[in-house]
Every structure is written in C-alpha cells, then in structure tokens.
Chain A
Amino acid sequence: MADYLPHTSEEIATMLAFLGLDDLDDLFSSVPAALRLAGGLDLAPGEPEPDVFAHVAELARANAARELVCFAGAGAYDHEVPPVVRALAGRSEFVTAYTPYQPEVAQGVLQAVFEYQTMVARLAGLPVANASLYDGAGALVEAVNLGVGATGRQRVWVSAGIHPHWRRCLATFSEGSGHDLRMVPLEEGRTVWPDDTAAGDVPGVVVVGYPNYLGCIEDVAAARRVADAHGALLVVAADPVAAGLLRSAGEWGADVVVGEGQVFGTSLSFGGPYLGLFCCTLEQVRRLPGRLVGETVDVEGRRAYVTTLRAREQDIRREKATSNVCTNQTLMAVTAAVQLGWLGTSGLAEVALRCARGTRYLRESLGGLDGVVPLTGDVPVVRELALRTAVPARTVVERVATEGFLAGVALADLAGEEGDGSIGPDDAVHGLLVSVTERRTRAEIDGYVAALDKAVRS
C-alpha cells in the first residue's frame, strides 16, 4: 500500500515500545469507546497515484467548457499567463510554506508580498494595500465592515452596478454584522444616486463599481460627492486591468478600493482560488483587514520584512478584531506580483488597451446584426459589454457553444431571472454579458459574431 508515511513496521514497534504501548490503537485510549468508529470510514481503499490521476483526468475531460474560446468574463477573465509566471509562482518554496510567523526564514514570501502591496497600491492610487483577501466579494465585505466601523453608521448604499454575486455575499454577511443595505439602481447602465435622504437613511458607506459589472464606466466623482454629502466613506470596486487605462479610483477620491486579482496570473480555475485586492487610505490603516507586510531592519541593520500592525488581528484582539481573516491567498498575491513584474509599466497599459480595442471591434462588428443590441446604450466601456439578444441568453450560450465559443454569461445567471436593480426581468432573460481580453484575435471575434448571428436567428 503506497502512501507518504515514512515509518517502517520496525520503527513503529520501536516507537510504541518507547511509549510503553502495545499497539497503535492504544494511542486513542482517550476517545470514549462508544464513539469510536466501528469498521472504518465508508470510503474506498487507497489507490495508486496513476489511477487517481486517470480518474480526475477523466472528470476534467467531461468539462466541455474548456474547449471553448472564452468570451465570458463577469469577474473571471481569460488573460495571458506566461510560462515564466507559472514556473516562478509554482516554486515549492512559495507553495509549501505557511504564514510568515517566523520572519527570519520567510523573507522570500514577505518581500514578494511587500512588492505585491506596492504594485496594487499604485494601481489603486492609494497608499496602502494589504497582503490579500479571499476574493473580490470577500474584499468588498471587509471594505464595508471597515467603512461601518469608521463612521459608526450601518446604513450602506450599494450601487446595483456591483457584481450581483458580490452583493449577495454582502447581504449574507450583513445578517451577522447587522449592516443595513440599500441597493441604488442603475439607469442605462449607470448608478443614479438619490438626491434626498429620509431620516435613518444616511449612509455610512457608499459603494460603486468602476467600471461596474455591466462594463460601464461609472462617474466615480458623483459617488464621491454623494459620500461627502453624508460624511460617508467611499468604497470603489475597481477592475484592476481596466485601471491600466482609467484614472485610478484613488484619484477620484476613494477611501477604500477593492477588486478581483485573478486577472494577474491566475487561471480561470472554475472560480478559485482567486485573489481579493484591498487598498485604503493611511487614515484607515488601523482598521485594515488581513495581514500587512512592512519593512524594517534586523539586529544588524539589514533591510527586512515582517507582518506588522498585528494588534488589529484576530489572534490578538479575538472578539474585538476588525476581521476574522487568518489564512488568506498569499500564493495568489505572489503570483500577481510576478505577473505584474512580467507585464511592467508598458505591459499593463498594453493589456488594458488591447482589451478595449477588442471590445470596440466586437461592438462595431455587432452593428449589422438584427437580433443583438448593446444593453446599455452608448455608455463608454473598457473590456466588457452587456448585450440584449433576441432569444433568451441562456439559449444563446448553449447554441454558440456548438460553434466552439463560450458566448458570455447570461445575466439571468448573475442577477436572477427576475432581474434586480441593475436590470429588469426582460433584460435579465435576454441579457448576455460579453468580455473581450487581449487574448482574443480578430478571427475569433469574427467567428464569434457569426455564431451569435446564427444563434439569434432561429
């Protein structure tokens, strides 16, 4: 029987004798006999590695989606991940370490995270980024917690342009935290903030997407004015790739910027592990959730890195902590640092530009089609476009798949068949969210448009 346990029978006998025990079962004498599992676990016996690999490979082959050219986005994007990033991020020193509790032997991870924090902060236009959170939705939940803590007001205005899954997560966790969420609807793809507020409706936090989940570039300055009018913190959920082309959220006055960092070196991965990006102003740094790496010196004065402001964290503050995060997504943060190192100043700008070009090319190519129109009018977009299709979008996705393309994401799968404040019921059924990354060629886009045309005709 193969496994990864080094003990020989002789060694086990020696060790048991050292403990004064007769057999391995005696190790569990403190477990009440009545509770002991009789007959062992209800699982098959162990299998050799090659058999296990073959089994999982067979499951992998059953995922037809993998063969399709990807026009789906909605928070998970098909970007280029070069061999050098996979090779470096896959080094076992990064992969098989844990949280740097002993910084003297964890300078590799600590410095990589310090570099990651620097890059992410520059992207957001804010001075501080943490060492990562679980995913975009998780980062948004933490941002709202920070904002409520800072203002002392649990009323939160959330633009309906925030990804529906993220809003759903906010709602879930608000059951525990007691936050009072008000969804602010979109019109023509952009948030329309209320002019007046009733008593009890004064927000402590205002949340807007940039661009929002339908791809539209929001007026963040307007959101900032709304926040200022009520003394609220402004949380911006920003697309970090679009940031290569857009003014930073920090420049628009965001107090907290969150985002999904999967776009930097992590494969689509069926949704995880991904990377929650989190940045804030210096004013809020003591409420920052998760780990933070800071620079210091060692006893000999050499530059070194360590997790810092630890007094915020759950293992020290326990029930008074601002967040319960312990294990985060460090390996994805290291991966993002490598990917951003690979892209560099010119590469990030180029990727964003190419996404925007592809999206423009798709939009223009759709111009002559009868059954497909943009859902959000002429609102400017960067790399994502919501369409309205003549037949239900879920049907379109199934049909276009037979032509070799993943057509996008049916809005009904995100916002529900009844729609929500971002779109109405009819657009929910007929809405299709399409994304074009720098990996999509003109030939692929042409082929996709032809497939779409065919799908909406019948």
Chain B
Amino acid sequence: MAGLLGIILQRLLLGIATLFAVSIIIFVAVNALPGDFAQSILGQGATPEAVEAIRNQLGLNESPPTRYFKWLLGAVQGDLGIPMSQALFQSFTGSSTGGDVVTVFDQIIPRLKNTMFLAGVSAAISVPLAVTLGILTALFRNTAFDKAMNVSTLSAISSPEFFLAYILILFLAVLNPVFPSLSNIFPGMEFGDRLNKTMLPALTLTLAVTAQMMRMTRAAIINLLASPYIEMARLKGLSPMRVIVKHALPNALAPIITVVALNLAYLVTGVVVVEVVFVYPGIGQLFVDSVKIRDIPVVQACCLIFAAVYILLNLTADVLSIISNPRLRHPK
C-alpha cells in the first residue's frame, strides 16, 4: 500500500505542475482576447479619459508578467480577486464602505455547486446506464438489440446538444408536461423540487455522454472474451451473464474507469450550451457572461476550476485503475 500512496503523491505533484502550466496558458489566452472590460462597460460614447481611469483603477495598465504574478500569488493563497463588475459597481455608487466586498469566490461557489449538482445527477443516471448497456450489448453482441443500442447512442452523441435539449423539451415539457423546461433553481430549494427542475438538462447530458462509456465498456469486455480464463469460465458451465459480469468485467475496469472519468469531467466543463438552453444558473452560464463583458478575474478563475476538475478526475481514474488490478494491489 505504501507504493500506492507514493504513486498518488507523485500524480498529485504532477497535477499541480500541470495546473501551473495551465494557469500560464489561461492567462495568455484570456489576455489575447480582443477588447477590454473598460471599453465594453462604458460603451461606444466613452471618453478616452474615462476608459483610462478605469483601466488604471483595475490595474490593467500594468505589464502582463506583473499582472500574472499578482494573480498567481493571490490564487495560491486562495484569493482569486474581485470581479471587475463588482469593483466598478462599488466605486461608482460610493457604497464600498458599507456593503460586503463580493469576491470571485463568492460569485463562483454557488454557481459551481449548481453545476456539480447537475453533473452529479447526470452521472448518477448515465454511468450505471452506460455500464449496464455496455454489459448487455457485450452479452448480446451482434444481435438486433446490440445494433439498436449502438445506433441510438451514436445518434445521440452525433446530434448537437441544443438540438437534443429542444427535442426533450418538446416531448417532456410541451407535449407531455412531465418536467419544467426552465431550470430556475435557487438556494434553499427542496431537494425533490430541485431534482425535478434539473431533470431535463441532466437527461440531455446523459444522452451526450452515454454512447462513449457504453461503447468502451462493450469493447473492453469483448476484447477479453477470447482470453483463456474466459474459456475456462465457460467450460465450468457458468451462465453467460456470470461469465461477463464476474470474469470479464473486473479485468476490463481500467479502460472503463478512464473513459468514465473523462466523461465526468465533460459533465462539469462542457455544460455551457445545456445551461444556456435551460437557463440553468451554473458555472457555464457565468463563464459565458464573464467572457462577454471581459471580466478577466472570473474567466480565469473558471478556467482554473475546469482544469483542476480534469486533473483531479484523471488522477482519481488512475488510482482506481491501479486499485482494480490485483497485481498492483497485492505485489508478490
């Protein structure tokens, strides 16, 4: 087990190094965006003096490396800065003495929680569904059922998400009003109510991610069916279902876990379109809004969170793959 801890620690350090590299890319990319916050908030008629004043106030006139290191220094201390929109609001109304300062964290955390909730619901539906379908299609490979499942999941993954979203709205909200088409969730909501309103975006995401996980499960299992130990299991007179679930699946876990992790990461970082369609107050919406007004601290923070989610989920997948292999779990 000491070996496993060592591996986790090593991957964690590598993850931090990756995050650091990503932070540079994010900073450069965000700063390469045309236009700036001062210009976009003041509009066409702004005087150059006013623009310059705001730029000075926000520190936008400092050199990029200086701004990067200030940002990085703040970020490692857990301070992602103050949204430009908030800063501006306070200085113009002159109420900064009274009200609380709204930081990037304050703005992101509730949105992130919402997105995590949506991702959690989607994952709770899609992962068991995909793995079960993968097992069943492997069991009934090359039958009509197998082909029907492959065609339908592939069609789902090939269609644009907004299209899937509108189809679901049409059938589950308009023609048969089962779920609401608008996901206006807010803090303090009942869990059941929240779940009900999250259902349509979650189903859309399920359609988008199931195909890949299912096909990988199917392929990983079928890949093993020619192994001598599968033949042995069959020659012991075990049922086909038992052969697959008990003998093939445990050995196919590593590739399945990897694909599941990648898709879970997508559920957190790739939800922008779905959130926009259902007006779901998640981090994707916030991200798009912030890019529109060039609110750089928020954009950077969102990117950093997305990167961290990817790295963490892949780290988890690596560790789980190792745990699923008895050779690594129980060395000689």
Instruction: Answer yes or no: do A and B interact.
Output: no
